[in-house]
Amino acid sequence: MPSQKVLEQKQQVVNELADRIQNSVAGVIVSYEGIKVADDTKLRKDLREAGVKYTVVKNTLIKRAAEKAGLNGVDEVLNGTSAIATSEEDYVAAARILQKFADGHKTFEVKSGYLDNEVISLDKIKGLAKLPGRDVLLANVLGAFQAPIASFARAVQAIVDKDGEAAPAAEEAAPAEAEAPAEA
């Protein structure tokens, strides 16, 4: 039987992980078995730069933390080696980075994931992985908002340019009309 100190440490891990799950918008559970240390280091760096927290945790602790956070349906995938990646802001970062890594490594596998505290299928995780990042999506939205304004500005500039060219021609025609009645 584990000592009281060990049980308290495990309870603390469960509480911290449950808080992470509750405060995150998305998360992915993976099997990391058989990856090299250099690959793992690069993966962790990429995840950290994207604002994703990645932790290797025992399956029983993930299960208890998920239950405490109200995330049901991850029990089936909690076997073998498991790690969990959570993101507090970006819905696609964890899925994109981990799925790309899994595509390049035979033994690394995405097991499950969740969005807004609901478990999603592996197909949805792969779909999320194909989406561009948050910054790219925001740039696309801003570009879409900016396009009508830019078109309007070009149209106004074209009118100004056209009026600027037509004005000297109108001035030349006006003196010719003024001379014509005088000659008649």
Q: Are residues 93 and 113 in the same domain?
A: yes
Q: Residue 167: what pLDDT? A: 47
Single out the residue of 37, 126, 58, 138 nearest to residue 90, CA to CA.
138
pLDDT category of residue 170 using cuts at 50, 70 and 90: very low
Convert the pLDDT of each residue in 78-108 to its tens digit.
Answer: 888 899 999 998 888 889 999 999 998 888 9
Q: Are residues 118 and 146 in the same domain?
A: no
Number of independent structural domains in the chain: 2
Single out the residue of 55, 52, 124, 102 nearest to residue 65, CA to CA.
55
Q: Are residues 75 and 60 in the same domain?
A: yes
Q: Are residues 75 and 109 in the same domain?
A: yes
* CB-CB contact of 36 with 66 (8 Å): no
178, pLDDT greater than 80: no
Which CATH number do you get for residue 121? 3.30.70.1730
| List of residues 6+ apart from 128 with CB closer than 8 A | 26, 91, 92, 95, 96, 113, 115
Q: Residue 164: what pLDDT? A: 62
Q: Are residues 98 and 21 in the same domain?
A: yes
Single out the residue of 102, 88, 110 nearest to residue 29, CA to CA.
110
How confident is the prediction for the chain on average, in pLDDT?
A: 83
48, pLDDT greater than 90: yes
Q: Are residues 82 and 42 in the same domain?
A: yes
147, pLDDT greater than 90: no
Q: Are residues 163 and 141 in the same domain?
A: yes
Q: Residue 163: what pLDDT? A: 72
| Euclidean distance between CA atoms 30 and 96, whole angstroms | 13
Rounded average pLDDT over 148-162: 83
Q: Are residues 91 and 139 in the same domain?
A: no
DSSP state of 117: T
Q: Residue 73: what pLDDT? A: 82
Give the range of the structural domain holding residue 166, as residue numbers without chain letter: 133-184
Q: Are residues 81 and 164 in the same domain?
A: no
Two tokens, residue 162: 């056209």
Q: Are residues 107 and 147 in the same domain?
A: no
Q: Are residues 93 and 138 in the same domain?
A: no
118, pLDDT greater than 80: yes
Q: Residue 41: what pLDDT? A: 93
Question: 21-51 as b/e, with b when 16 or more CB fall inside 10 Å?
Answer: beebbbbbbbbbeebeeeebeebeebbeebe
Q: Are residues 40 and 91 in the same domain?
A: yes
